[in-house]
Amino acid sequence: MPTQAPRQIAPALLSPALNRRHVLVGSASALAAAGLSTWSPCAAAQAKPLPAFASWKDATATIVHSATTIETKRSAFGSSVITPTEQLYVRNNLPTPDAAVVANRDAWEISIEGVGKPRTLTLRELKTLGLETVAMVLQCSGNGRGFFPSKPSGTPWTVGAAGCVVWSGVPVRAVAEALGGVDGGMRFMTGTGGEKLPEGLDPKSIIVERSVPASAMVDALLAWEMNGVAIPLAHGGPLRLIVPGYTGVNNIKYIKRLAFTAHETDARIMSHGYRVSPPGGKGDPSQPSVQEMTVKSWINSPGPDSTALEKGRMQVGGVAFGGMHAVKRVEVSVDGGKTWADARLVGPDLGKYAWRQFVLDVRLPAGPHVLASRATDVMGNVQPQQRLENAAGYNNTSWADHALTVSVA
Ligand SMILES: Nc1nc2c(c(=O)[nH]1)N[C@H]1C(S)=C(S)[C@@H](COP(=O)(O)O)O[C@H]1N2
Ligand SMILES: [Mo]
């Protein structure tokens, strides 16, 4: 099936707060009735093929933006909490390592520094030190960038640069304890990706190396398994740093070095990349780094690929997460945010770092409807209506941007 491109809906049909980019769903006749042109498969852009290292991904559930950026389709998020690995998004900043690195996983080596007895450990040795499992939302800092009217450069993800994944590995604190504890004065935990760096460039300008506050080690894992299988190469196998609650980039794939450090790394991806800078500006170390996620939700069903929605009863559902704090409440609006009703949280609660699925039983008459969701975490933080404008299009949690316009026949 060709990918259906998001379409612009006539602004007059939207409430003033929602006059931005929205996705239209509904039967061809409903669209025609609303005075809108219908989508034709012939006019759709040719879908790009999956790259070789991720050829096993589900092509029907994903949107291939480039050879290193693959998004989950909004309509493909199921209602079973966990995002299947073959549907999960992929984002690689550098060429993916050779598949040889996952041929002998247990031989993978990681150097642990900034501890009493720094040393290199193999994955086989790590597995002897501890085991923990965490369900966590993995979300790219740029998820929702596609909703910024300023069209920041970078992948125009809508909602699908995110998924809820179960990770298994050894707690970072168990590794630190086994090696004599973290040295005094180390305020950061710095992870380095093991990609082979392209030659002729300053390594600091391209290496994937990120620092997070050392306090994040409390729940961090060095993980070798995701969703019950050894971490595939595309997702950072054989070994990945998992920092629950922190945006995607802080979860270092192919990790080859974990260092407790006094200062943040001066790698460019840390010092200038992934900074929340003013519109039109450039990132620099004085600006906030993208780190902890905040409360967010969106509706997936009925999704943008739904057709022929019939008037009457339906279940409006989606996902909600708090980043660092559990979600307490999700409200849904079917009138673009004028009125809200409490949705029901469904399915198992896999902990504060996982997302919750929500659903609201609604009755919709014929016509266009603007569906929105708004989550609140246990600390009382409410998902905002507006995005925080910034140059690179990071951290979009706006409920208005994530609203969906559906057309009911
Ligand atoms: N070593 C390494 N780790 C990395 C990256 C990378 O390019 N190299 N990309 C980061 C970014 S920006 C994101 S959003 C996530 C994507 O994880 P996924 O591809 O498993 O979905 O990995 C992060 N960790
Ligand atoms: Mo990312």
Q: Given this model, what pLDDT does residue 45 score?
A: 54
Contact assessment for residue 225 and residue 238, using Cβ atoms and an 8 Å cutoff:
no
Name the β-bridge partners of 174. none
- The closest ligand to the CA of 233 turns out to be 1
Residue 365 has φ and ψ, to the nearest 5°, of -75, 170
Q: Given this model, what pLDDT does residue 34 score?
A: 34
Give 41: exposed, middle or buried? Use CB within 10 Å, 0-12, 13-18, 19+.
exposed
Contact assessment for residue 368 and residue 329, using Cβ atoms and an 8 Å cutoff:
no
- The residue type found at 133 is T
Residue with more model confidence, 10 or 161: 161
Name the β-bridge partners of 97. none
**DSSP letters spanning 311-330:** SEEEEEEEEEE-TTS-EEEE
- The closest ligand to the CA of 252 turns out to be 1
Ligand 1 pocket test, candidate residues 56, 91, 239, most atoms within 8 A of CB:
91
Ligand 1 pocket test, candidate residues 208, 222, 246, most atoms within 8 A of CB:
208
Q: What angle do CA 90, 91, 95 make, to 5 degrees?
A: 110
Name the band, by pLDDT with cuts 50, 70 and 90, for residue 308.
confident
Q: Given this model, what pLDDT does residue 44 score?
A: 47
Q: Counting atoms of ligand 1 from 1, which one is nearest the CA of 235?
A: 20
The protein residue whose alpha carbon is closest to atom 12 in ligand 1 is 249
Ligand 1 pocket test, candidate residues 69, 165, 206, 253, most atoms within 8 A of CB:
253
pLDDT digits (tens, 9 = 90+) for 43-61: 345 689 999 999 999 999 9
Name the band, by pLDDT with cuts 50, 70 and 90, for residue 6.
very low
Q: Counting atoms of ligand 1 from 1, which one is nearest the CA of 192?
A: 1
Q: Counting atoms of ligand 1 from 1, which one is nearest the CA of 90?
A: 19
The protein residue whose alpha carbon is closest to atom 23 in ligand 1 is 249
CA of 251 to the centre of ligand 1 (A): 7
Q: Which protein residues are within 6 Å of ligand 1, measured from CB?
A: 88-94, 138, 140, 193, 195, 208, 235-236, 248-249, 251-254
Q: Is residue 37 scored above 60 in pLDDT?
A: no
- The closest ligand to the CA of 57 turns out to be 1
Q: Counting atoms of ligand 1 from 1, which one is nearest the CA of 93?
A: 7
pTM for the complete prediction? 0.90
CA of 365 to the centre of ligand 1 (A): 43
Q: Counting atoms of ligand 1 from 1, which one is nearest the CA of 92?
A: 7
Exposure of 329 in the CB half-sphere (CA atoms within 13 A): 11
- The closest ligand to the CA of 210 turns out to be 1
pLDDT digits (tens, 9 = 90+) for 274-296: 999 999 999 999 999 999 999 99
Strands in 296-301's sheet, in edge-to-edge order, are: 296-301, 312-321, 356-364, 344-346
Name the band, by pLDDT with cuts 50, 70 and 90, for residue 305.
confident
pLDDT digits (tens, 9 = 90+) for 249-259: 999 999 999 99
All structural domains of the chain: 7-36+294-408 (2.60.40.650), 90-271 (3.90.420.10)
Question: How far apart are alpha carbons 48 and 143 in whole angstroms?
Answer: 20
